[in-house]
Amino acid sequence: MKLFAERILLSSGWHTQQTLTIENGVITAITSGCIDGAEKVAVVIPGMVNCHSHAFQRAFAGFSEQGSEGQDSFWTWRSIMYKFIDQLTVNDAEIIAQQLYIEMLKMGYTRVAEFHYLHHEINGENHVELAAMAKAIFKASQQSGIGLTLLPVLYRFSGFGPLPANDGQKRFINSVEQFNQLVSDCFTLSAHYENTNVGIAPHSLRAVDKTSLEQAVKHVRSLDDKAPVHIHIAEQQKEVDDCVAHYGQRPVEWLLNNVVLDRQWCLIHATHINEQERQGIIASQAIAGICPTTEANLGDGIFPSSEFLAENGTLAIGSDSHISVNPIEELRWLEYAQRLIKQQRAILATEKQPSVGRHLWQQAALGGAQSTNSNTGELAIGKQADLLVLNAKKVALFAHHDQHLLDSMIFASQQNMINDVMVNGHWVIKAGVHHLEQVSEQAFSTLLASLSA
């Protein structure tokens, strides 16, 4: 197919009057001017990658916002969440994920890294098909049309020690041997689903030990030497304190000293890090996966984004618990948190790229592509055609010259400016509508009415 854009943000910057030739989901040519037969659109930007998702938590959003006289925290939220998941079946997980992925597409996410740890039956027993829950996620991605990087989660312990898993974690727990079989099964499944790949997610240093971490990484890299490896790290101060008490080192410090990090690793949250840890992440070329709305919702803390980006760190964004499903809000919070701390403005810009909005969008898209080992993140020849078409009428209501357009989209507009969404060369959203959204919304709302926290 051929797509003519009046304005388009290519890897080299803004351009006008360009035609993309797309074959088998990949951009094979970019030509000046309009080619006969090309579909015409106004403004095109790259799709965004969501580097961190727990799909089932979309149905949980809103259940945990009751006050507790200043005593609520991540840890009390987690206890409520454990009770919530005791109800979810394989079919429920698919319904929730499909609804979530349609919402993601409508807001501009074209690929998602699913940090998937809901593995077993409600009673904690294995499914007859070990990867039954993972298969539900694959099916939801195919039905919605979003690109998927599935990250089965290795979860062995409830805390440093190691402490035995508690009852609320019974659906997560696997031995290393069983986990590696699950990962192999997911690779087999991925071969049958378009635009998907597989990595792993050792849950956290409190949930795995060094031996199991090493064995899991070794196994997945034997299947794909560029498989993504994601891990929750240093999200909460208690986690840091417990790690120091057990290992005598901070979480990121321990990881840097005990594991060979590379550009396929994504450190989710990394909220509580010191200068040496920050520089170590950057030197390793690992990605920092930041989820500002969830980190704010859970009271986690604020990642040192300005220092990290100034030192050429690679950053990606995720919606995590899906209290918000909106990359614009994630990027806005990323910048605003720094403004509140430093009492300055336009912090996450650079001398080379003074537009905060454009800098954040492009950096997060590229970082997200790296975090998923996907051929996405920018619009260029040889890249997958994952792109967003903006609504020209809505764009015209704000400052919209090239240098201002993404600033307006992220900081000025409270509307969804996205009109159409293409993933892997296929239109999945047209005129703001997904062809399954009504059916999906009905199934989701029916399910939600039957659930309780």
Buried b (16+ CB within 10 A) or exposed e, 190-205: beebebbbbbbbbbbb
The tokens for 46 are 């790259």
What is the rounded CA–CA span in Å between residue 104 and residue 98? 10
Angle at the Cα of 297 from the Cα atoms of 294 and 302, rounded to 5 degrees? 70
Task: Give catalytic status of residue 269 as yes or no.
Answer: yes
Please classify residue 139 by burial: count the beta carbons closer than 10 Å to its beta carbon, then call 0-12 exposed, 13-18 middle and 19+ buried: middle
Catalytic pick among 185, 300, 320, 407: 320
- Fill in the amino acid letter for 246: H
* C-alpha radius of gyration, the chain, whole number: 21
What is the rounded CA–CA span in Å between residue 451 and residue 453? 7
Helix, strand, or coil here: 371? helix
First to last CA, the chain: 47
What is the rounded CA–CA span in Å between residue 18 and residue 12? 13
Catalytic pick among 269, 322, 359, 434: 269
Instruction: List Cα–Cα distances, 339 to 139, 332, 410, in angstroms.
Output: 41, 11, 15
What is the rounded CA–CA span in Å between residue 56 and residue 442? 17
What is the rounded CA–CA span in Å between residue 97 and residue 99? 5
Task: Confirm if 49 and 371 have CB atoms less than 8 A apart.
Answer: yes
Task: Give catalytic status of residue 320 as yes or no.
Answer: yes
What is the rounded CA–CA span in Å between residue 45 and residue 327? 13
What is the rounded CA–CA span in Å between residue 351 and residue 348? 10
The tokens for 138 are 């694959």
What is the rounded CA–CA span in Å between residue 107 and residue 355? 21
The tokens for 23 are 């074959």
Please classify residue 340 by burial: count the beta carbons closer than 10 Å to its beta carbon, then call 0-12 exposed, 13-18 middle and 19+ buried: exposed
Nearest Cα neighbor of 250 from 262, 259, 239 is 239
Instruction: Report, as residue numbers or ranges, the catalytic residues.
Output: 269, 320
